[in-house]
């Protein structure tokens, strides 16, 4: 009997999992002054197969590497798309890149949003700020199979109207049959006619059945905390509340140790967790 052992089977794959592939930036669009959206095509011609909620490790050699959520949906044939907020040295350098230039990508990593098993359910998306970026992958997967699901709500809060990302898509989603898109901002600019307040203030405007609704959340920690509490008050089961977490990561493959949430690795055990799981990890806030 060996002293140390694991039941986890080793994946056969790339010889050196740390070695990324070159991808060309085919399109850049500005989502807000801080966030850019990149469409990528691998230079070796091989596409990447990924699931909603997974992430990739994005490199700019000489600057560094970081985990970035995939915002596109393989299910409907999208090219690989990521959205990057200017936050540190790497993301600032990525913002300097132009169409035609290259980024290095490895992955996809992490688990994914469960969604196919929720056919027939009502779906509630709650996003805050750039929390909409990773949620978009599962939103478009579900919209792509619209008739398989019940009612759908999208609650989206941002700091101010100019902070809002995917404004055009929020409009087109609201035109899908039986999809309600509700928006709110913390501080309105002149001309803003919508709701003002944090995202939980939108809950007074909708009515959902906690027994047949699945909630997907993503946003800043404070938003997640209060949304979880509100959903629990409305009698939703913690197993039906699904969120995706962000942590500092260096490897994406469960080795570097930086992304521990309790004893789980955000990169290989997550990034998608249910509220019930986060409670057992002591990381519900």
Partner 1 sequence: MQNLKIKTQNLIKLIEALKKKATVLAPQADEYKDVYLKAVSDPSKVILKHFKPLMPAVREALFGQVENMINFKKSKGNTKLSTVDESQETVLFGIPACDVAGIQYNDVFFGQREFADFYYTKAREKLTIISLACVTPPNDNCFCATMGHGPIAEEGFDLQLTDLGDGAFLVNVGSKKGEKIVADNKALFEDATDADSKKFEEIKKKAEKLPVGKNINKDKALGNMGREALNEKMMLEITDRCISCGACNYTCPTCTCFNVVDHQKAGEGMRKRILDSCILGGYFRMAGGHNPKGKRDERTRNRYFCKLEWDKEKFGDSGCVGCGRCLDACPVKIDIKEVMASLA
The rounded distance, in Å, linking the Cα atoms of 65 and 113 is 24
Sign of dihedral through CA atoms 38, 192, 155, 116? negative
Query: Which of 89, 28, 82, 36 minimizes the C-alpha distance to 58?
Result: 82
Residue range at the interface with partner 1 (CB under 8 A); choices 155-163, 202-210, 225-233, 251-259 = 251-259
- Taking CB under 8 A as the rule, does residue 35 contact partner 1? no
Q: How far is the CB of 246 from partner 1 (least distance, A)?
A: 7
For strands 152-158 and 80-85, give the pairing: unpaired
- Output the smallest distance, CB 263 to partner 1, in A: 4
CB of 129 to partner 1, least distance (A): 11
Q: Toward partner 1, which CB reaches closer, 61 or 205?
A: 61
CB closer to partner 1 out of 25 and 141: 25
* Residue 42 interacts with partner 1 (CB under 8 A): yes or no: no
Lookup: tokens for 278: 């986060």
Count the residues of the shown chain that bind partner 1, applying the rule CB under 8 A. 51
Which two tokens mark 129?
């700020």
Residues 173-232 that bind partner 1 (CB under 8 A): 221
Give the one residue of 47, 87, 160, 206 binding partner 1; rule: CB under 8 A. Answer: 87
Pick one of 31, 66, 70, 94: the residue that binds partner 1 (CB under 8 A).
66
Q: Which is nearer to partner 1, 59 or 73 (CB)?
A: 59
Which tokens go with 10? 């080793």
Residue 147 contacts partner 1 per CB under 8 A: no
Q: How far apart are CA 154 and CA 173, in angstroms?
A: 9
State yes or no: residue 148 binds partner 1 (CB under 8 A): no
Of the candidate residues 28, 41, 42, 64, the single one contacting partner 1 (CB under 8 A): 64
Q: Which stretch binds partner 1 (CB under 8 A): 114-122, 152-160, 177-185, 240-248?
A: 240-248
d(CA 5, CA 237) in angstroms, rounded, equals: 35
Neighbouring residues of 170: CB distance < 8 A, sequence distance ≥ 6: 154, 156, 164, 181, 183
DSSP, collapsed to helix, strand or coil, labels residue 150 as coil
Distance CA 252, CA 22 (A): 18
Ranges within 90-109 binding partner 1 (CB under 8 A): 90-91, 100-102, 104
Are residues 120 and 223 in contact, defined by beta-carbon separation less than 8 angstroms?
Answer: no
User: For partner 1, which stretch binds (CB under 8 A), given 89-97, 117-125, 150-158, 204-212?
Assistant: 89-97
> Burial code of 39-56, b = ≥16 C-beta within 10 A, e = fewer?
bbeeeeeeebebbbbbbb
Nearer to partner 1, 71 or 195 (CB): 71
Q: Which residues bind partner 1 (CB under 8 A)?
A: 2-6, 8-11, 13, 15-20, 22, 61-66, 85, 87-91, 100-102, 104, 221, 246-248, 250-251, 253-258, 260-261, 263, 268, 282-283
């Amino acid at each position: 009997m060996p002293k140390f052992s694991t039941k986890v089977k080793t994946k056969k794959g790339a010889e050196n999992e740390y070695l990324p592939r070159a991808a060309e930036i085919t399109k850049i669009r500005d989502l807000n002054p801080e966030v850019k959206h990149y469409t990528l095509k691998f230079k070796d011609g091989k596409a990447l197969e990924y699931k909603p909620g997974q992430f990739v490790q994005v490199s700019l050699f000489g600057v560094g590497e970081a985990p970035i959520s995939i915002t596109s949906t393989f299910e409907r044939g999208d090219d690989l798309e990521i959205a990057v907020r200017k936050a540190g040295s790497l993301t600032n350098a990525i913002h300097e890149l132009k169409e035609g230039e290259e980024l290095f990508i490895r992955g996809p990593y992490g688990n994914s949003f469960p969604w196919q098993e929720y056919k027939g359910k009502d779906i509630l998306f709650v996003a805050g700020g750039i929390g909409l970026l990773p949620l978009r992958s599962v939103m478009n997967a579900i919209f792509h199979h619209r008739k398989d699901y019940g009612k759908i709500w999208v609650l989206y809060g941002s700091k101010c109207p100019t902070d809002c990302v995917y404004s055009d898509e929020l409009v087109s989603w609201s035109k899908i049959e039986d999809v309600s898109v509700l928006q709110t901002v913390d501080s309105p600019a002149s001309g803003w006619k919508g709701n003002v307040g944090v995202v939980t203030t939108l809950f007074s405007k909708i009515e959902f059945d906690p027994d047949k609704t699945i909630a997907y959340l993503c946003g800043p920690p404070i938003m997640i905390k209060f949304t979880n509490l509100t959903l629990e008050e409305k009698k939703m089961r913690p197993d039906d509340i699904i969120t995706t977490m962000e942590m500092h990561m260096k490897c994406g493959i469960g080795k570097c140790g930086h992304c521990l949430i309790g004893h789980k690795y955000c990169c290989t055990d997550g990034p998608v967790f249910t509220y019930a799981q986060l409670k057992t990890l002591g990381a519900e806030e």
